[in-house]
A = this chain, B = another copy of it.
Amino acid sequence: MQLALNSPLDMHLHLRDEAMLNIVAPLSAKSFAAAIIMPNLVPPITTIAALKAYKERIMIATKGEKFTPLMTLFFQDSYDYDFLKEAKEYISAIKLYPAGITTNSEGGVSGIDSESLKMTLDAMSELKIPLLIHGETNGFVMDREKEFVPVYEELAKNFPNLTIVMEHITTKDSVEALDRHKNLYATITLHHLLITLDDVAGGMLEPHLFCKPIAKRPEDREALLKVALEAHPKVMFGSDSAPHPQHAKESCGCAAGVFTAPIALPVLAELFAHHDKLDNLQAFVSDNAQRIYDFRPEKKEVILEDAPSTVPAIYDTVVPMYAGKEIGWSIKSVS
C-alpha cells in the first residue's frame, strides 16, 4: 500500500539552536514542506532581529531541502500594534507560554487574563496573527490542561476574531472545548495519539516518553485519536518534536520532550492505516492547517509505503521515539 501526501506540515516543532539545530532541522526538512517553529530558545525570540537571525540559521541548517520555517515570536504583553504590524511580515503566529510551565518558558506570562493581555490580543486579532498557547496551569500534573480549558474559553469568548490554537492537546476536555468556540483550534502530537501515562510510568519509567503536557488517561487518548483520525476540521498535526541530548533524558531529573520528527509521517501513516482512515491523513497533516493559517506551502510530495523500517537507535546525540524498533511504514520518496 502507498500513500502520497502533498506538502505535509508540522504545526508545532522545536528546532533548538546551534549544534542541536544542525542535527534535527534537516530531519524535519527532509519530510515536511513547512513547520511552525517554536520560539523558546534561551533567551526566547522576542524581537524581529532575533527572529530573522534565527530563521537565517534554520535556512542554513536545512539548505538544499524544500522546507519553509514558519516563524513565531515568544508572547509578551508589551507587544503593541505598531510592533506587531511590522512583525507580521516575518511571523506566522505568536506563542504564549504560562511562566515556568515547560522547557525554557521562564520568561512567559504570569497571569493570563483578558484584561492584561487586551492591547496585544486586540492587535493580533486585527492583524490576523494566530495565538498559540501551551495551555497548562501549575496545578497537579494530571489536571493542568483540564484546569486551563476555562482560560482558553475566556480568551476565545473575549477575542472572537482571534485565532487561538490550543497546542499539543492531551485531554478529552480540550477536545470537547474545540466545538464550543468557533475560533478555538488545536494541534495534536504523534506521541499523544499513541501513548498514555501507562507507557511513561506504568511499567519501568521511560524517560524518552516523558513530555509536557504529560501523556494522560486512556479515555483522553481515545478522544484525541477520534478527532485526529476523522481529521476534524479544527485539528492539525503538530509533532511537538522536542530533542534533548541523550544524557539530559537518561539522567536524574530527565528533561521533558519526545523526539518524533524523523518518524512522524511513517508512524502516522501506520496508525491511520491501522484504523482504515488513511484517506484522512492529508487533511490532518496539511489541508486543515493550510485553511486555519490561510497559508499555501510550496508543493512537496511525500510517498509513504507500508514497508517496514527500523528506527535508528540515535540521531547524533538524540534518541528518537521507537529507537531501534521496527515500524510498519516508511518514506519511499520525497519530491
Contacts and interface: CB of A to CB of B under 8 A. Distances in A.
Contact of A250 (B201, B210, B251): B251
A198 B253 contact: no
A295 interface: no
A218 interface: yes
Contact of A141 (B140, B202, B252, B255): B202
B201 A200 contact: yes
A253 B142 CA distance: 21
A277 to B, nearest CB: 25
A254 interface: yes
A70 B159 CA distance: 66
Interface residues of A, number: 25
Q: Which of A204, A205, A255 has the most CB of B within 10 A?
A: A205
Interface string A248-272: 0011111110000000000000000
A174 interface: no
Nearest to A246: B252
B204 A142 contact: no
A208 interface: yes
Contacts of A250: 250-252
Identical chains bound together, number: 2
A196 interface: yes
B142 A205 contact: no
A108 interface: no
Nearest to A255: B204
A198 B202 CA distance: 15
Contacts of A169: none
A172 interface: no
A197 interface: yes
B140 A205 contact: no
Contacts of A251: 250
A55 interface: no
A214 interface: yes
Contacts of A200: 201
Given A205-B205, A207-B205, A140 B254 contact: no
Interface string A190-231: 000000111011101111101000100110000000000000
Given A207-B252, A252-B250, A214 B201 contact: yes
Contacts of A210: 201, 205
Contact of A140 (B140, B207, B218, B252): B218
Given A205-B205, A205-B210, A197 B252 contact: no
10 contacts: A141-B197, A141-B202, A142-B217, A204-B254, A205-B210, A205-B253, A205-B256, A206-B253, A207-B207, A208-B252
